[in-house]
Structure 1
Amino acid sequence: MTGQENELRVLVVAPTGRDGLLISNPLDSNGISSFPSATAEMALVEFEAGAGALILAEEALTLPAISLWAARIAEQPSWSDFPLILLAAGGEINEESRRRMRVREPLGNLVLLERPVRPETFVSTLQAALRSRGRQYQMRDYIARNHAAEEALRRSEKLAVAGRLAASISHEINNPLASVTNLLYLIGTSSSLQEAKKHKEIAEKELARISEIVTQTLRFYREPSKPTLVFITEIVDSALILYQSKLAYAEIAIERDFRECSPIVAMAGELRQVILNLIGNALDASNPGGRLRIRVSNTREHRNGARPGVRLTVADSGSGISPEIRKTLFEPFVGTKGDTGTGLGLWISSEIVNRHSGTIQVKSSTLSQSPGTVFSVFLPLEQKAGHRSLREASMTPDGNRKDTLSDSPPEIAFPMQREMAT
């Protein structure tokens, strides 16, 4: 039988007398597939190949068997609640029966049937257990489909990011190349050596600019696949280089406010994607002649036990985000760019921040006297208690609470004294 065919078979452990036969006969007559095992330990081996329920005679439920099954039950995925049916001897409730009940508690979804059991009661109980197990499998498949869809969306957004970067990089490289072409022509038509040298020096600067753009681009695509020590300020600088031409064309002023900033253990490529997305969104929202302020500093997130970390704040002087959109801004397919955006960037960014045990927040104002939007990302030096830290992951190779502060827009987007209090 294949794994899928095994999913609704019933494992039977009835080692004494004719119990096994008496159990299997009514199952077979009702079209229920069963598989006998001599011990509860042997049934556990079969459980790994797939099962819909377990029927277990009480005399086979030894303490070692309870320990093994309880450990396996505790490892079930969130969608699973494997049903066990225990055939127990009848009798009055006393201290001994209560003790046995306490010992069986780790088995989880346990149904107790007293023997002798009427065949109709036995079969209907098992059919109810199998229907429940079938619904669990439906939930498993639903979760798997959702996971596959989310992965497809993530890949789609990564392709969109790559496309936007390719277009931006092409534009950034094309301008200095055009300058170099013109300078080479001027060198060839120069009337003096001094004039030719002057053109040559300008051409060398333009080529150095191209080299820097290429270096930053290669850094983006050659990020290590494991967590490493990274400086947020370095990632911000490399991202701004890729947007240099767009910033100059729109005459947007950049204000860097880089304070004392500790390195964090993180996936540099993922953080680069977050920062590129936040800066790109800020540029798209800004009007010509606007301002973009980026602040990076050490801080503590006091509402989560004063966790030490690094906070990145990106503020623009654009038109702001409406409260209706702000409420669902970190959900898939929600955006402010209409048909020009995928609506996935901030969702992906929040997922990345969550995997780093951080938080991402937004404040925005659409008031004409003080419009603007502020995004704040907090990344802890260590992950929250109870989560495996990225620092550990970096040593042993082998993920956000999203807060939308829509009710308290910044008083003014610039300067940013209080736009993102911890």
Structure 2
Amino acid sequence: MSGGGSLSERALILAPTGRDSAIAAAILAEAGVAPIVCRGLADLLAHLDAGAGVAIIVDDVLRSADLSPVSKWIADQASWSDFPFLILTQRGGSVERNPFAQRLAATLGNVSFLERPFHPTTLVSSVRTALRGRGRQYEARERIEEIRRAEALLERRVVERTAELESANRQLAAQIAERERVETALRQAQRLEAVGQLTSGVAHDFNNLLTVITGNIEQLQKRLDEPAVARRLDMMAEASRRGASLTAQMLAFSRRQKLEPRPVDLNVTVRSMGDLLHSTMGGSVRILEPDLQAGLWPAMIDPTQIELVILNLAINARDAMEVGGTLRIATANVLMGEPLLPGQPPAGEHVMVSVSDDGSGMTPDVLARAFEPFFTTKDVGKGSGLGLSQVFGVAQQSGGGVTIDTALGRGTAIHVYLPRAQSAPIERGVADAEPPAAPRADVVILVVDDDDAVREVTTGILNDLGYIALDAESGRAALETFEARSDIEAVILDYAMPGMNGGDLARELARRRPGLPILFATGYVHVEALAETPEDHIIHKPFKRRELADKLARAVA
């Protein structure tokens, strides 16, 4: 008999006595099922594997006493339930009367029976049926394992993808926060720039006005002997000085004022301001002994501006406290990291001066607007709102920054950071110790300004000083005068003029006559425009007679 079997299909025949085993083996071999007769359990185990094409045929002679331990061992192995068992039993035999069959049927789920004598076709059919069941079971198990592996892979990928998404979300959140920070800084910078342009423009016109007022007052004070009139002129002069201080604050805030930074010892500055601070505070608050760090680095700052900064901060601290409050001033060397918020100083070595109080503190809303120009929490008429704006402007323009530590009801500490200077401080007054040379009587000076009143005051002061003063109202008129008069030895220019501004005119004059002394009289100018101009060649409006005389004398000497 031949069949369509596969040599990969095997039948393990456990028949120690050999009864009917040779017949069964021959029938299966003819049908294409490879028979393997096993004489004992060890022989059976040697040929057993987990493949799908394996069936186990057991002769029920295992009921005999000598093989009962073997049958028990087979029945006790739970893993054997994966294999199909075909039990050859005597015709008319009963499973109920066969302990071996009962044990296998109860423990192993895949057991069938074949009575002897059996027909060859019946044997082959029974084995093949068992093998097909075993194959389907094996395939199902393999499919289940594949599904489990796929589920594990999917779960692992889900975990990995979730981690990737969480990381991406964190990066996105950080980018959004950074973008919001940058946009906030940009909006603040744009607001400050817009208001800065407004304040600098107002300061320019106001400085021209103050130049006329102070110039005429100085001229009148020289010619009047009446005490009452002189007293009124002194009051007018004081009012003009206050106006000049206000415009200086506006220009410092808007960064349109050219600073004259130099190495400064802030410890010396704070000590020298002791009397001024006590008189300004008026006894309403207690000023503690300054906490000044030993070995303080020199700071790069305009000496006059840092005094205004400290004074402004002290006045703000006084106004934030009740009578009897405490004011503290401290200095320190600080190494700053990268800035995190607008207004903070850049990374590097800085010298810090701080002014702190134990007053009312700031709310978050007030803190967010602290540096805005004209913003103030003081009553009407008690503050311009430019104090902290000036502090911010001076610090930023000097290459530093400002931070505020505050808590509502617990006080405020404002820290001003200035870049560390790389040279020793210069004692004030050393550079100006040598008095200016007296002017010659025949020195001709050209004054160029688009404001008629400013020109008239300036030329009047120059005439009083002994100079011969010429004037022009524009750059074009100045060039015409310059070509007509070869004896002009110096020029005083207003920078902000319509048409040809002072910078353009200065370059043209220098081209026509190299080495010509040129001084800029200005109340408003972009800092970059005069960055290369020495401070001795800049006269700040409203200027004093002494300042004009000193700088002009040095220029023409």
Question: Whose radius of gyration is greater, 1 or 2?
Answer: 2
Instruction: Identify the TM-score tier after normalising by the shorter chain.
Output: 0.3 to 0.5
